[in-house]
């Protein structure tokens, strides 16, 4: 059974810092991995999608990497801003859009 | 381009009642999946539809059901509601099942 773990569960950093969020999964047989952010009481916003054949993807200040063999992904956020405060979720796509989610990392950026 | 639309946004129901939630995917997307989000269990997969066929179902009781119409719009139904069904129900759509998933704002269901 695929399990997805995110560490840390919560993170608080001052504005301007670069930070890394971690995601690990137990089964490397995945279609892709996707990172989302969720603001309180809202839906999920897609940040980055990495296909299983790719090693990384970048969008603005965000960079995500994928190491399928070790079952790990990282989300790097450069020059953090208060508006980045949210819960960040990673999800692996097992098959036919069946996503398995981690429990998320609650990120707080302090001005 | 309109995103994924879920209706209603909020619902309050009584135990034993049934409820139907609706999801309109992004135009052109044919895959729709549903998830339940609770504080204790996080996000859990309910089911996925592609071209009107249910292709995957999560580990939920038979009270949870769904369908997809020819225009790709999807509905999920929960019968005989229980207090534990209170959750945020999220719908996602994608062009095809292996593509990027886009989520709606969710329906907040409260069972009293």
pLDDT tens-digit map of A35-77? 999 999 899 999 999 999 999 999 999 999 999 999 999 999 9
Cα–Cα–Cα angle for B82, A103, B19, rounded to 5 degrees: 25
Q: What is the mean pLDDT of residues B18-28?
A: 97
**pLDDT value for B98:** 80
Cis peptide bond upstream of B80, omega within 30: no
Of B20, B3, B8, B1, the residue nearest B101 (C-alpha): B3
- CB contact under 8 Å between A44 and B90, yes or no, is yes
Nearest CB among B50, B94, B103 relative to A44 is that of: B103
For B35-69, the pLDDT digits (tens) are 999 998 999 999 999 999 999 899 999 999 999 99
- Does B24 touch chain A if contact means CB atoms closer than 8 Å? no
Chain B residue nearest residue A33, CA to CA: B100
Distance from the Cα of B8 to chain A's closest Cα (Å) equals: 14
pLDDT over threshold 80, residue A97: no
pLDDT over threshold 70, residue A98: yes
Q: Which of A95-99, B30-34, B108-112 has the lowest mean pLDDT?
A: A95-99
**CA distances for A97 relative to A38, A89, A105, B37, angstroms:** 19, 16, 22, 17
Structure tokens at B51: 């071209």
Query: What mean pLDDT value characterizes chain A?
Result: 95
- CB contact under 8 Å between B56 and A101, yes or no, is no
Q: How many CB pairs under 8 A join A and B?
A: 68
Give the pLDDT band of residue A96 (cuts 50, 70, 90).
low
Of B97, B96, B92, the residue nearest B74 (C-alpha): B92
For B61-111, the pLDDT digits (tens) are 999 999 999 999 999 999 999 999 999 999 999 998 888 999 999 999 999
Chain B residue nearest residue A103, CA to CA: B42
Of A88, A110, A80, the residue nearest A22 (C-alpha): A88
Strands (E), chain A: 4-7, 10-14, 19-25, 32-38, 44-51, 56-59, 62-67, 72-77, 86-93, 99-101, 105-110
Q: A11-15 contacts: CB < 8 A, separation 24 or more?
A: A11/A105, A11/A106, A11/A107, A11/A108, A12/A107, A12/A108, A12/A110, A13/A80, A13/A107, A13/A108, A13/A109, A13/A110, A14/A109, A14/A110, A15/A80, A15/A81, A15/A82, A15/A109, A15/A110, A15/A111
**pLDDT value for B64:** 98
Distance from the Cα of B98 to chain A's closest Cα (Å) equals: 6
- CB contact under 8 Å between B48 and A97, yes or no, is yes
Q: What is the mean pLDDT of residues B24-36?
A: 96
């Amino acid at each position: 059974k695929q399990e997805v773990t995110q560490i840390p569960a919560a993170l608080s950093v001052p504005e301007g810092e670069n930070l890394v969020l971690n995601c690990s999964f137990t089964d490397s047989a995945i279609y892709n991995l996707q990172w989302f952010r969720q603001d309180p009481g809202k839906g999920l916003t897609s940040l980055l999608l990495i296909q299983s054949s790719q090693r990384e993807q970048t969008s603005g200040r965000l960079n995500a990497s994928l190491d399928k063999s070790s079952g790990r992904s990282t989300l790097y956020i450069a020059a953090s801003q208060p508006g980045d405060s949210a819960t960040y979720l990673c999800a692996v796509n097992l098959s036919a859009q069946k996503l398995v989610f981690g429990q998320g990392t609650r990120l707080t950026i302090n001005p | 381009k309109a995103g994924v639309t879920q209706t209603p946004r909020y619902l309050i129901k009584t135990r034993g009642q049934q409820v139907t939630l609706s999801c309109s995917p992004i135009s052109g997307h044919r895959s729709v999946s549903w998830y339940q989000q609770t504080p204790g269990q996080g996000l859990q997969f309910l089911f996925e539809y592609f071209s009107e066929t249910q292709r995957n179902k999560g580990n939920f009781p038979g009270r949870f059901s769904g369908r997809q119409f020819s225009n790709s719009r999807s509905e999920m139904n929960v019968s005989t509601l229980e207090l534990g069904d209170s959750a945020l129900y999220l719908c996602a759509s994608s062009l095809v099942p292996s593509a990027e998933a886009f989520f709606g704002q969710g329906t907040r269901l409260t069972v009293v």
